[in-house]
Structure 1
Amino acid sequence: MTRASTSPASRMAAPSSPLASMTGFARVAGDQGPWRFGWEVRAVNGKGLDLRLRLPPGFEVLEADVRTRTGQALTRGSVSATLAATREGEAVSVRVNEAALQSLFHAVKTSAERLGAPLPGLEALLSVKGMVEIAEVEESEEDRRSLMAAILTSFDRALRELGAMRAREGEALRAVLTDRLDAITALVVRAERLPERSVEAVKARIADQVRVLMEAAALDPDRLHQEAVLAVTKADVREELDRLTAHLAAARELLYSGGPVGRRLDFLAQEFNREANTLCAKSNSVALTQIGLDLKLLVDQFREQIQNLE
C-alpha cells in the first residue's frame, strides 16, 4: 500500500511564519543635530551568530547595545556592522585673548618707537603663545544622549531591513526545499510500488536460489531455511521507507512552521541520507538501487540549500 503522496492535498496550506535566509544587506542613513551618520550591515552564512562591529572613535559606548539588539533580532549568521559618522559645521572654537593681545601690542609699540624699529604685523603678535585658544566644541550631555539614541534607532531600522531581505530569500528557499521534498516523496512512492521489493517476490527469488543450491550440492535443508528467512528479513526495506515517510512529514512541518529551523532541517537531511544509504545496501533490484542513488542526489541538494537557512 502506498504511504506517501505527492498530490496537492498532501501539502500544507499556508506557512505560519516566514523562513529566513542567513544572507542579507542593509544600508541606513540618519542625522541628529550637526551629525550625519550611516549604518552598513551585511550577513552571510554562519554556524552561530557572530557579529563583527566597527565603530568610529568616540562611539565605542554603543557596542553593548548594538550587540544586544543584534542578538534579539537574529539567531544565526556571520554579521558585520559598520558605523560612519561625521559632524557638519565647525567642530572647534577659536578665541583670541583680546586683553593679552592689546597689552602685547602696546608693549611692542613702545619698544619699537624707542628703538626706531618697525612694528610687527598682527600675524606675528597672534603667533605668541597664549594669544589664540583653540578648543573642540563641547556637546552637552543631553545632546550626546540624543545622538546615541538616534544612532541606535537607525541601527534598529537597519536590522529590520536586513531581516526583511533575509525573509524574502527565505521564502524563495522554502519553495526550492518544498520542490526537493516533493521529488523525494515521489521516489519513496516509486519504491513502494516496485513489484520486485515485495516480500513475496523476495521469497520467490530466494526459493529459486535455494533450489539451485540443493540441486548442486547436499546441503542441510534446515540451515538453508534459516538463511533464507534471514535473507528475506535483510532484504525488506519496509522500515526504511516508513522512516523516510516520517522524516518527510517532519521536514514539511518545519518548513510550514518557519522561524530558525535550519539546524533541525539539517539533522533531518542527515537522517534522509542515512536511510538512502541503507536502501541502496539492502536493495534486491536494479530499480531500487537506482531509486536509492537518485534519492541520495536529491538529499544532497536539499542539504546544500538548508545551509543558507537561519
Structure 2
Amino acid sequence: MPVYSMTGYASAQNAASGTGASAEETAAHAPRPHRLGLEIRSVNSRFLDISFRLPDELRALEPALRSLLTARLRRGKVELRAALGNEGSSPLQDPPAKLLQRLSFLQDCVRAWLPDAAPLTVADTLRLCANAQAGAEDWSAAVPALAEQALDALLSAREREGTRLAAMLLERVRQLRALARQAVPMLPSLVEQQRQRFLERWQEAMALTGDAVLSETARERALADATAYALRIDVAEEITRLDSHLDETERLLKKGGEVGKRLDFLIQELHREANTLGAKSAALELTRVSLDMKVLIEQMREQVQNIE
C-alpha cells in the first residue's frame, strides 16, 4: 500500500445543458450550457477537516459531497470549491422574455408598497436571470460524478507526493544508521581513556604519601570510580533503542497506508534518544554525532507532518 501525503490539488470541469426552459424559450433563445468547475485543495492537519465553498444552486449537495470525501480521506484540511459559468465565448445569455416579464411584474409589486425602492439595473436583471436559469438545472448527478473525478486526481497527486516523502525519509533512516555505527566504536576507547585518567590522577595523589597500602586502596577506588563513570557514559542502550525505532520507521514506510500518526510518535522517540546520546557524550566526536542526528531527525519531523 502506498504512503499518502496530505498535500495535493486537483480540479475538474463539466458542462450540462439547461433543462429548465420551455420548448418555446429554447427555440427562441437557445441557452448555452452551464459549465461546472470543481477544485479540491488539501494540506496537512491532525484530523480530517472539510470545508466547502459552493454557489447557492449547489448547497443542497453538500451532504453528498461530504460523504464522498470522508469515505476516501482520513486526514488533512480539505477545501472543495465549485463554480458555475456559461459555455461559449460570451458569458452573457439572452434573458428569456417570460423571465423579464416576471421581473418587471415583481418590481412593480415591490414599488407599489415601497415607492422609494431603487429600480432594477441592467446588471441586476442579468444576474437574476443567470441565477434563475442556473438554478433550473439539475446537478444532483453531475456534481458527485465530477467530484469523484477530482477526488481520484487528488489521491493520485497525494500518492505521488507521499512516494517522494517516503523515499526521502528512508534516506534519512540510512544516514541515521550510519551515524549510529560511527558512535558504537567510540565507546570502548572513551571508557578506557577515562579509566587511565582516573588511575593517573590517583597515582599522582598517592605518590605524595608513599604508603603502599593506601596506594593499593586508592587504585581500587580509582577503578571503581572509572567503572561508575563508564556506566554513566555508556550509550549502548540508547543506540539499541535508536536502531529499534529506525527499524519500525522503515517497516511503516514500506508498509504504507495510514502511518502518519505512528511515524510522528517514532520521531519523538528518535529525538529523545539523540538528546540522551548528547547528554552522555564524553567526547567531542560523540557530541558531533548527536548533533548530526538531531538535524536529520528534525528534517524527518517536518516531512512526517505531511503524511496521512
Report the TM range for the smaller structure's normalisation. 0.7 to 0.9
**Deviations for 1:47-79, whole angstroms, at most 9, x for unmatched residues?**
221112011113222111211211121111111
Matched, 1:154 2:143: no
For residues 302 and 276 of structure 1, the distance between their equivalents in structure 2, rounded to whole angstroms, comes to 14
Matched, 1:45 2:36: no
- Which of the residues 11, 22, 27 maps onto 2:6? 22
Q: Is the 8 A contact 1:48 1:76 kept in 2?
A: yes
**Deviations for 1:110-165, whole angstroms, at most 9, x for unmatched residues?**
xxxxxxxxxxxxxxxxxxxxxxxx9x67999xx73xx2122111111111101101
For residues 269 and 96 of structure 1, the distance between their equivalents in structure 2, rounded to whole angstroms, comes to 65
For residues 39 and 67 of structure 1, the distance between their equivalents in structure 2, rounded to whole angstroms, comes to 14
- Match of 2:258, SS? coil
Q: CA deviation at 1:300?
A: 0.9
For residues 139 and 206 of structure 1, the distance between their equivalents in structure 2, rounded to whole angstroms, comes to 86
AA at the equivalent of 2:232:
K
Q: Trace 1:75-224 onto structure 2 (pairs within 5 A).
A: 75-86=74-85, 94=98, 144=138, 147-194=139-186, 197-198=187-188, 201-203=190-192, 205-213=194-202, 215-216=204-205, 221=218
Matched, 1:250 2:239: no
Q: CA deviation at 1:208?
A: 3.0
For residues 51 and 79 of structure 1, the distance between their equivalents in structure 2, rounded to whole angstroms, comes to 5
AA at the equivalent of 1:73:
R
**Deviations for 1:282-303, whole angstroms, at most 9, x for unmatched residues?**
1122211111111111111111
Q: How many residue pairs are counted as aligned between the two chains?
A: 250
Q: CA deviation at 1:96?
A: 11
Q: CA deviation at 1:250?
A: 0.4
| Equivalence for 1:58 | 57
- Match of 1:94, SS? helix
Q: Is the 8 A contact 2:6 2:158 kept in 1?
A: yes
For residues 248 and 227 of structure 1, the distance between their equivalents in structure 2, rounded to whole angstroms, comes to 34
Q: Is the 8 A contact 1:93 1:137 kept in 2?
A: no
Q: CA deviation at 1:170?
A: 0.9
For residues 40 and 259 of structure 2, the distance between their equivalents in structure 1, rounded to whole angstroms, comes to 23
- Match of 2:69, SS? helix
- Alpha-carbon spacing, 1:96–1:170, altered in 2? closer, same or farther (3 Å): closer
- Match of 1:260, SS? coil
AA at the equivalent of 1:231:
Y
Q: Where does structure 2 lack aligned partners over 5 or more consecutive residues?
A: 19-33, 88-92, 102-128
Structure 2 length normalisation: TM-score? 0.72
Q: Is the 8 A contact 2:14 2:146 kept in 1?
A: yes
Identify the range of structure 1 (69-78 vs 31-40) with the bigger mean alpha-carbon deviation.
31-40
- Match of 2:290, SS? helix
For residues 176 and 30 of structure 1, the distance between their equivalents in structure 2, rounded to whole angstroms, comes to 37
Q: Is the 8 A contact 2:274 2:293 kept in 1?
A: yes
For residues 246 and 256 of structure 2, the distance between their equivalents in structure 1, rounded to whole angstroms, comes to 16
- Alpha-carbon spacing, 1:203–1:139, altered in 2? closer, same or farther (3 Å): closer
Structure 1 length normalisation: TM-score? 0.72
AA at the equivalent of 1:208:
R
Q: Is the 8 A contact 1:18 1:258 kept in 2?
A: yes
- Match of 2:14, SS? strand
**Deviations for 1:206-244, whole angstroms, at most 9, x for unmatched residues?**
243144135326897476554433211111111011011
For residues 223 and 242 of structure 1, the distance between their equivalents in structure 2, rounded to whole angstroms, comes to 31
Q: CA deviation at 1:92?
A: 5.6
Q: Is the 8 A contact 1:91 1:137 kept in 2?
A: no
For residues 17 and 140 of structure 2, the distance between their equivalents in structure 1, rounded to whole angstroms, comes to 12
Aligned Cα RMSD in Å?
A: 2.8
Q: Where does structure 1 lack aligned partners over 5 or more consecutive residues?
A: 1-16, 98-133
For residues 27 and 75 of structure 1, the distance between their equivalents in structure 2, rounded to whole angstroms, comes to 20
Q: Is the 8 A contact 2:6 2:43 kept in 1?
A: yes
Q: Is the 8 A contact 1:92 1:137 kept in 2?
A: no
Q: Is the 8 A contact 1:280 1:293 kept in 2?
A: yes
Matched, 1:277 2:275: yes
Identify the range of structure 1 (219-228 vs 207-216) with the bigger mean alpha-carbon deviation.
219-228
| Equivalence for 1:232 | 230
Identify the range of structure 1 (220-229 vs 252-261) with the bigger mean alpha-carbon deviation.
220-229
- Alpha-carbon spacing, 1:189–1:138, altered in 2? closer, same or farther (3 Å): closer
Identity across aligned pairs (percent)? 36
